[in-house]
Structure 1
């Protein structure tokens, strides 16, 4: 019998040997970040040569080792003080080495968004997975059931948001000859939001449908408040808080009606924008409804950014959480991602073209931010210069206002916005010892699997 998502075995949470084996991967032309000098060597061998940022070409995306470590520790400490578990969203990075760091810092498991991502996690032995989505694919359900049957330490839970989704899951599992139960959460949505049952009445009907199934086990409720707001205005924060109270109310009603199956119930919410409100509204459930486990699913915090999350993250905007203590004691998160691009054309006095575009850098939630320029004479900050990126094409960025600060051939460091659409553009990402150093050293290479 497989253990529930709540009570599955503790330990590393990931196959550390498989993660370590990534250092033995041969390097070649498949990895656009890497220079030809790396080809034919393994990751381990190439790092032993002592590469620096200057050895790499452009365009390039890098991570900062100090910022990564700081962010992982900061969020882990914040959640521990708040009394909530953290199951970070692995879709942000799809990097098993970073998942391992998060798990080692105390994360409860890894959240993922679709079945291909779950398969990556299982390939690296992740033993506690929260799929923040419905799983209706019959072949996928059969595979998950086989994984659960083959590995008693594997804990898995996914969402349902309609009676139809419950029926389809039950039919697929029956057709596959599955005898054991798959654990599910009822996803609660909100008006104008994304997926999720609209309203308590629909959610309760789903609960009774799960109860009637012999192949599913209802273990909690979940949702995503970030779909209901996109800023930190009073109106936005109010809508998020209202939704979270509805989620808490649904959990209390399900518990009072004894509609949960085996295992201790889960309540989960929390992206990287409003986890303070999630904690304030949901953390008390752990004591009000004994046995309840409150789980945050924040993911973008690990890299943070110089755009959207810089302005809206609870730690960046100085927001505390009930019971966590003085909000000023929370260390702010640091941007760990940087783009690097070269000026390849200066056709007009206030226009330069860089060799990085949409194929290299995120653009869906804010354009890259010019931060400094590197020339043979040294590095110079662009703060206050008026330099900005006005648009991105597939392979070019339009840099305006830099003037003589960015001559042809100069390399710019760019801050990026929205890390979730940065990692997916790179299969191997160099990690710098210090992105602010005059000559940053490359101390690691992070492999992603999108």
Structure 2
């Protein structure tokens, strides 16, 4: 039996799973609580703040559990997520995304007035000037962090250009530049890697070195914010890093297990699906979850994880979820035997994007199972 199958065999089936409508996402709250505590301990041991990314769970109640366990605040990607979290009582947030549209900046200021602390991201002088103009107009000081491209080649200013841009931002009215941040993921020397320790240390070192350069240039950078779920624990050990922002860890998934930061036993979330057909032949079966149920952004067979299929079936560990159409998932079977009517729990490759496909989740705990709406699901603007 392979490593995934061995780990998955420890998950116990709960009888309440037989009565829910499928396909559905189920969260094992005992495992989730353990994950929340474990990451809080990682941050505490390294003496850094933990600001988890809420894009994974999109639920204020779970954000509150992270805060109660020791998180300093939370991270979101969109203003709409910040609004939902503020409605749910969260009052310390970082919108880790460059705000450009004036309407979004005005909404961010409005939500910031309801909070103890709001931080927003910026990666251009154009964006900074728009933030400044709106802040001055509304009589509100915006705390900002400069985003750095540390190798992801997404948003963020290149390190070599950071000092010049930071100087200009620091001179703008209505803004208070307090830190720098990056998202790098599992990259080492610009390439995907399984050596997440080296990747995390390199990420942290690059950002700390840049912060020191900024301070020498007279820009009083306080916060150095880094770290994904794969690399956060290692980046946190670099002296000078002040904050990590992992997200996936709250549930974990097949991808984080592939990086070796957890086992499948630590995966709190899975999709429950029903086998609806034994077609197209005896070596396959069809479940009632397809691309509208499972995220497809982490593709099978790609470097460096080389995952087989779109998820791991706990009840059929040697099966491969090899193909998805909108409403159908095609399982290729080996020795496992499944038949129409069987229910399978499948750990998806990427839980964050999977959660955003669902309006609700089922929380499974000591008192049974309950259905909960995901308030920030679909909040993309």
Picking from 267, 286, 294, the partner of 1:335 is 267
User: For residues 265 and 144 of structure 2, what CA distance do their matches in structure 1 show?
Assistant: 33
- Once the two structures are TM-superposed, the CA of residue 198 in structure 1 deviates from its matched residue by 0.9
User: Which whole-Å deviations, capped at 9, do the CAs of 1:318-357 have from their partners, x for residues lacking one?
Assistant: xxxxxxxxxxxxxx97101111212211121101111111
Picking from 317, 320, 325, the partner of 1:393 is 325
Match runs of 1:159-238 below 5 Å: 159-174=121-136, 177-191=137-151, 193-200=153-160, 202-226=161-185, 228=187, 231-234=192-195, 238=198
- Say if 2:59 and 2:85, in contact at 8 Å, map to a contact too: no
- Say if 1:189 and 1:224, in contact at 8 Å, map to a contact too: yes
SS in 1 for 2:258: helix
User: Which whole-Å deviations, capped at 9, do the CAs of 1:389-431 have from their partners, x for residues lacking one?
Assistant: 1111111111111567101221122122211112112222112
SS in 1 for 2:157: coil
Which residue in 2 is equivalent to 1:155?
117
Match runs of 1:223-372 below 5 Å: 223-226=182-185, 228=187, 231-234=192-195, 238=198, 241-260=201-220, 265-281=222-238, 284-285=239-240, 294-305=242-253, 307-312=254-259, 314=261, 334-347=266-279, 348-365=281-298, 366=300, 367-372=310-315
- Say if 1:84 and 1:296, in contact at 8 Å, map to a contact too: yes
SS in 2 for 1:165: helix
Which residue in 2 is equivalent to 1:5?
none
- Once the two structures are TM-superposed, the CA of residue 237 in structure 1 deviates from its matched residue by 5.8
User: For residues 308 and 81 of structure 1, what CA distance do their matches in structure 2 show?
Assistant: 25
- Say if 2:274 and 2:343, in contact at 8 Å, map to a contact too: yes
**TM-score, length basis structure 2:** 0.84
Which residue in 1 is equivalent to 2:12?
none
User: For residues 412 and 239 of structure 1, what CA distance do their matches in structure 2 show?
Assistant: 35
| Structure 2: runs of 5 or more not aligned | 1-14, 301-309
- Say if 1:193 and 1:227, in contact at 8 Å, map to a contact too: no
- Say if 1:362 and 1:368, in contact at 8 Å, map to a contact too: no
User: For residues 207 and 265 of structure 2, what CA distance do their matches in structure 1 show?
Assistant: 28
Q: 1:66 to 1:191 in 2, by over 3 A?
A: closer
Match runs of 1:392-431 below 5 Å: 392-402=324-334, 405-431=337-363
- Once the two structures are TM-superposed, the CA of residue 218 in structure 1 deviates from its matched residue by 0.6
- Say if 1:350 and 1:403, in contact at 8 Å, map to a contact too: no
Aligned residues: 350
Q: Which runs of 4+ in 1 moved over 6 A?
A: none
- Say if 1:66 and 1:433, in contact at 8 Å, map to a contact too: yes
- Once the two structures are TM-superposed, the CA of residue 155 in structure 1 deviates from its matched residue by 0.6
User: For residues 364 and 139 of structure 1, what CA distance do their matches in structure 2 show?
Assistant: 29
Which residue in 1 is equivalent to 2:7?
none
| Structure 1: runs of 5 or more not aligned | 1-50, 287-293, 317-331, 373-381, 435-440
